[in-house]
Chain A
Amino acid sequence: MATDQKLQAEEARKCLQEQLKNIGDVEQRELKNEEGHAHLIYLKSMCDPILVNDNLINRFYELNSMELFERFIRSFPSSLEPKDKQELLRNMLRGCVAIFIRDRVLLLDAVLVNAGSVQPASTENVMQGPDDSFTENIEVNLNLIRHRYQTTDLKTEFMTVGRISQTRLIIMYDEMKVDHSVLKELKKRLSELKTDIIQSASEIERHTMHPKLRLFPTLMLTERPDRAVLNISQGKICVLMDSTGYVLVLPAIFNDFFTAMDDKIQLPLIGWFLKAIRYIALFITVMMPSLYVAFTSYNPEILKMQITLLIAGSRATVPYPSSFEVLFMLLAMEFLVEASVRLPKAVSQSATTVGGLILGTAATEAGLVSNVMVILVAAVAITNFVIPITMMSMGIRVTKYLFIVLSTFFGLVGIVLGIVSLIMYLTSLRSFGKPYLKMFAIEWRRKGDPQSG
């Protein structure tokens, strides 16, 4: 019986007033004319006042008929009639106006969209490419993607996660290209998600991936619509999330984290060159400090005689073993990086100057650190920033310390052990069933054959 399911207006209003007792931003409007009266209740902070005034209050007095007014409200696609009190309350908290006409309760969506305009990307900059980044509003983000990917194959599925935050998610994929096993796996993992509050996209990645303790990201976060679109066109899945400017892309393999959008913009040869540069940077940033330790402490005979004597000469005054020297300097560098991220822009400049220039020079002058070491730390820091995706470059920042530890105890042998373990570890990782590190990983995307190994 449909009428039984309808909420009785009086009862609902009482209940609402009970629930919204101590909430200051509740606004109640009593509208009256000859025909009858209507009652509006909404949260001032969540609703668009222009929308409320134009569509509800002005119309009420213009139309002059209860019947017409109700029909007018019902004509909005975003209006609905709540079935119970919970639904009513939930929608009000989301930004709906509750309208009590005669003995009916109607809801009209009047959400105040409080997003800034589309901003240029800040963490993934490119040269000569599109500059938009995702906003914190899911609808705008949807628009940004749809705008760039105009086909009906682009499916969007809505979901909510988080018991309290009730964060809205949109799963987007190209139906023709997506790997359905990955999609199924994703939905399964999202439905198993049991946390109260989800505020950022990286939390989803943390809660859905196994094993929990990982060094390398197996999901990609991006703020660039063009990257999201490119990945969708390659058969990947994007997860949009309300109230965050980042989109999850999955599955993500090792190579994806070394791809910047520039590679597509530049000529192919230059794109390959840039990619090669990034892998060289990866090698240098991970290996250099540990190689220094191995060469100075265990195997000075490996390097050329000239270089050996140079290092020995510059280390002559350093009073502690090379591994401590490396650790001190690297830690100093990490502090600098952390400090300049957190500090306001105006101060961070001078912090870097003070730390980098003055400290470095003074330490070498005082003989606490060798010259070669300062060059090395600078090289390590710079090459670390070459890696385009922040999540990956964080993982690599940590990896380098593991290598230093290994080389402190085993010398060159330890580094080789580390390389082998790292390769084994990375190849054993899976991102939604896809091998994480693999030679010629691009293949499966192009052929669209998930079975080919």
Chain B
Amino acid sequence: MVRNKYFYYLFLLNASINLINYVPRILIQDRFSGVLMSVLIAIPAGAILMYVFAKMLQRFPGEGLPEIFHSVFPVWISGLLLVLYGLGWYFSSAITLISFMDITSRYISPDVSPYIVLTGFLVVVGLSARLDSESLLYALEMVLYITMPLIAYMAWRVYSNPYFSWDSVRQIMTYAWNMPNYRTVAAATYIYTGYINMVVFNRIFRRFKVRYMFSIILVSIVSLFISLFGPIGILGANGAGEHVYPAFSTVDALRIRYFIIERMIYVFFVVYMILSLMNSIIHWHVGKELVLGGFKLEGEKPSLLPKKRKAEWWVLALFAVVIFVLATVINQYTLNDMAIVFLDVRFAGEILLVILLIYAAIRRGRRRRA
């Protein structure tokens, strides 16, 4: 049983990982056509989704999504939904891992074959995803306490840089009166998506309750501000669009004068590699639990445990193989398109999930009264 604070960690993890998952790139693509409007819409939209989701989940204390779905839907519908949600959630980590493999071979290890690096990632992620949910949350806490101060420091360095062009930021601000579009809204709401992890982690929360919505919104505004305006201020209103990984190029412009490492990008790389792995581990864990839940292998029931343990290997092996194959066939452009498709589908899927949960809560309430 864990306390509420772990919910905020899950949110924070996703909010910080957006830099890897192409969110800044999509936002910057639309910098002259409505990104600010989209962000303005995305912030309340994401916050409301998160709030409603949390409120609904409170009615199912200690239950994960598989238990909830199985109790209100026929087996085949809930099975299908769970498998789809599980795969969708896993797909997010596929994008993180493949793009991080790409980043690694670009910035850090051109000497090592990217597939060996990817194998390393997959082994660590696959084995860690099998651990119990509680351990994962403790590890997450640990990781965040290591990385968050560094991220805050780097963000501060970006904005206090004398070469940071506030005029470029102002220039983008004057483009605020353009129509928003769905794609950018979907990308911007990715900041909030961490709450989806609760569909599995809710099992070990003791009296889950979401509070401090105000600070959650504040943090998300800050992180969107960083991922959008950081690159624009450093790389220029026009120049920001020219980079494949705007966040990395931005941090590459930071210099540490009094340290044994001179370029901030390496600190950034290490921090984000840890976060990416952590994020993938958690996504695989959730994805695995959902898929297994789809086949009625849910929770820690002792009768099912040996069977579940065996099935787990197969699911994780499948996850790993799919990513490995994907990594060999796709290139930079398809990866970007994939990320956009994922972000679009994810937003729709999130809305659907919240609706399903509301429906489940109503059904459950009626049954209890009857």
Contact = CB atoms under 8 A, between A and B. Distances in A.
Contact of B3 (A301, A412, A437, A453): A453
B278 A299 contact: no
Nearest to A299: B108
Contacts of B142: 423, 427, 437-439
Contacts of A413: 104, 108-109, 112, 117, 120, 273
Interface in B189-212: 206
B224 to A, nearest CB: 27
B262 A423 contact: no
Given A304-B262, A424-B135, A417 B124 contact: yes
Q: Would you list the 6 A-B pairs with minimal beta carbon distance, nearest first?
A: A453-B2, A427-B139, A427-B138, A428-B135, A424-B128, A416-B273
B134 A417 contact: no
Contacts of A304: 260-262
Interface in B256-308: 260-263, 266, 269-270, 273-274, 277-278, 281
A269 interface: no
A305 interface: yes
30 contacts: A298-B109, A298-B111, A303-B260, A303-B262, A304-B261, A304-B262, A410-B112, A410-B120, A411-B109, A413-B109, A413-B112, A413-B120, A416-B273, A416-B277, A420-B128, A420-B143, A420-B274, A420-B278, A421-B128, A424-B131, A427-B135, A427-B136, A427-B142, A428-B139, A438-B141, A438-B142, A451-B1, A453-B3, A453-B137, A453-B206
A343 interface: no
Interface string A420-453: 1101100110000001011100000000000111
Contacts of A428: 131-132, 135, 139
Nearest to A418: B124
B274 A419 contact: yes
A427 B127 CA distance: 14
B143 to A, nearest CB: 6
A357 B117 CA distance: 40
A409 B117 CA distance: 10
A51 interface: no
Nearest to B259: A304
Find the residue from A298, A412, A427, A428 having the highest chain B CB count within 10 A.
Answer: A427
Interface string B243-266: 000000000000000001111001
A218 to B, nearest CB: 14
A420 B275 CA distance: 9
Interface size class of chain A, counting residues whose CB lies under 8 Å from the partner chain: 20 to 34
A417 B112 CA distance: 14
Interface of B: 1-3, 6, 104, 108-109, 111-112, 116-117, 120-121, 124, 127-128, 131-132, 134-139, 141-143, 145, 206, 260-263, 266, 269-270, 273-274, 277-278, 281
B260 A307 contact: yes
A452 B3 contact: yes
A437 B134 CA distance: 12
Contacts, number: 104
A452 B2 CA distance: 6
B99 to A, nearest CB: 15
A122 B128 CA distance: 40
A114 to B, nearest CB: 47
B260 A416 contact: no
B260 A437 contact: no
B328 to A, nearest CB: 19
Contacts of A453: 1-3, 6, 134, 137, 206
A257 B112 CA distance: 37
Contacts of A355: none
A414 interface: yes
Nearest to B204: A453
Contacts of B262: 303-305
Contacts of A305: 262
Given A435-B134, A453-B1, A453-B2, A423 B139 contact: yes
A249 B134 CA distance: 24
Nearest to B140: A427
Given A419-B274, A423-B142, A435-B138, A451 B108 contact: no
A402 to B, nearest CB: 13
Contacts of A452: 3
A302 interface: yes
Given A411-B112, A416-B270, 8 more contacts: A299-B266, A412-B108, A412-B266, A413-B109, A420-B128, A424-B128, A428-B135, A435-B138
A411 B111 contact: yes
B260 A438 contact: no
A452 B134 CA distance: 12
A192 B180 CA distance: 67
Contacts of B263: 301-302
Contacts of B127: 421, 424
Given A302-B263, A427-B135, A439-B145, A410 B274 contact: no
A416 B274 contact: yes
A410 B138 contact: no
Nearest to B143: A423
Contacts of A451: 1, 206
Interface in A219-243: none
A412 B105 CA distance: 12
A424 B139 contact: yes
Nearest to A438: B138
